[in-house]
Amino acid sequence: MRELRGRTAFVTGGDSGIGLGIARALVGEGVRVALCGLTESSVQTAVDELSARTGGQVEVEGYVLDVRDRDALEAVAEQLDESYGGIDILVNNAGVGFLTPTVEAGFEQWDWVLGINLTGVFNGVRTFVPRMLASGRDGHVVSTASIGGLLGTPGGLYVAAKFGVVGLMEALRTELHGTGIGVSVLAPGIVRTNIAHGPRPPGVEASESPGGASLDELYQAPLEPDDVGRAVVAGILNDDLYILTHGEHRPFLAERFEAILASLPPEPADERRSAVERTVLANPVYSEAVARREAR
């Protein structure tokens, strides 16, 4: 997508934090934004703020819904079809934080975290992307994972969900290759949001933070949601597969990828096996992602 003005976007979890930062960046580009959140007050506050930022020149509307509610998502999709002929940009951003160690987490907590952070993303994709394809227009899907979706950080349930988002978006990018619908996965590090004060899973009252650090420690030099919003707009315009926000993550990612490569069997590759594996695994989206970056 080279031109965003006049397009329509749906942003889940767009009433605060990263989602609101993305919504701000989109309306700044002249994109109509429909957003959703969990409470009437937070949704209305976000709609009022975004409308004021544009002087009412860009349409903004809000919905109260839980991304686990497929019927509610379908109703919103139908409304947006009627109002704008559907959406062009889908931002699956709604998510919750939960960093309890895996062996201490309960089954209900697993269902809650995965239901919102991973199944919620699938619900958005399954509800909106077929409509986007049917419209015949080009478009873009962005889903929010985390650096915890690329590194095995503490908090197994959260990490499992975010790794799932990364894999789902890579697969979706492959499946939509050549359709005119781009796909990006956003994997931010520490951003100043209210996720630590968001909804808690069943049986949990207090929030956790990475490594037991306090919010004051984590927020010594955080990115702001608006920084992430600008990165997302750039990622859409550049059709980037990965939208990473922190250059500081380079050594940690390199260490993980080197560990994976170092674990391959040392024996020379069998040519016949290689041909079969290549048939299944060769994927142009990775080389294209590198080429896009190198061309800039």
**Every domain of the chain and the residues it spans:** 8-264
- Give residue 211's pLDDT: 56
Q: How far apart are CA 146 and CA 144, in angstroms?
A: 7
Percent of the chain with pLDDT over 90: 87
Percent of the chain with pLDDT over 70: 93
217 pLDDT band, cuts 50/70/90, is low
- Average pLDDT of the chain, as a whole number: 93
- Give residue 262's pLDDT: 97
- Quick check: is 158 catalytic? yes
Q: How far apart are CA 30 and CA 223, in angstroms?
A: 24
Nearest of 70, 95, 188, 81 to residue 137 by alpha carbon? 81
Instruction: Select the more confidently predicted residue: 198 or 37.
Output: 37
Nearest of 38, 245, 80, 233 to residue 142 by alpha carbon? 233
In degrees, rounded to 5, the angle at the alpha carbon of residue 92 between the alpha carbons of residues 45 and 65 is: 50
Strands (E), 88-216: 89-92, 139-144, 181-187
- Give residue 219's pLDDT: 65
Q: How far apart are CA 239 and CA 273, in angstroms?
A: 33
- Give residue 209's pLDDT: 58
Q: In what order do the strands lie in the sheet with 32-37?
A: 60-64, 32-37, 8-12, 89-92, 139-144, 181-187, 242-244
**Residues 195-214: pLDDT tens digits?**
666 777 788 765 565 555 55
pLDDT at 280 over 60: yes
pLDDT at 187 over 90: yes
Measure Cα distances from 124 to 104, 163, 165, 258 in Å.
Answer: 30, 17, 12, 34
- Give residue 214's pLDDT: 53
Q: How far apart are CA 128 and CA 162, in angstroms?
A: 21
pLDDT at 246 over 70: yes
Buried b (16+ CB within 10 A) or exposed e, 25-45: bbbbbebbbbbbbbeeebbeb
Amino acid at 285: V
Active-site position among 84, 158, 242, 286 = 158
- Give residue 233's pLDDT: 98
pLDDT at 188 over 60: yes
Across the range 157-178, mean pLDDT stands at 98
Amino acid at 9: A
What backbone torsions phi and psi does residue 141 show, to the nearest 5 degrees?
Answer: -120, 130
**Residues 221-245: pLDDT tens digits?**
678 999 999 999 999 999 999 999 9
pLDDT at 218 over 80: no
Amino acid at 57: Q
In this structure, CATH architecture of domain 8-264: 3-Layer(aba) Sandwich (3.40)
pTM of the entire predicted model:
0.93
Across the range 103-126, mean pLDDT stands at 97
Measure Cα distances from 262 to 35, 150, 259, 265 in Å.
Answer: 44, 17, 5, 8
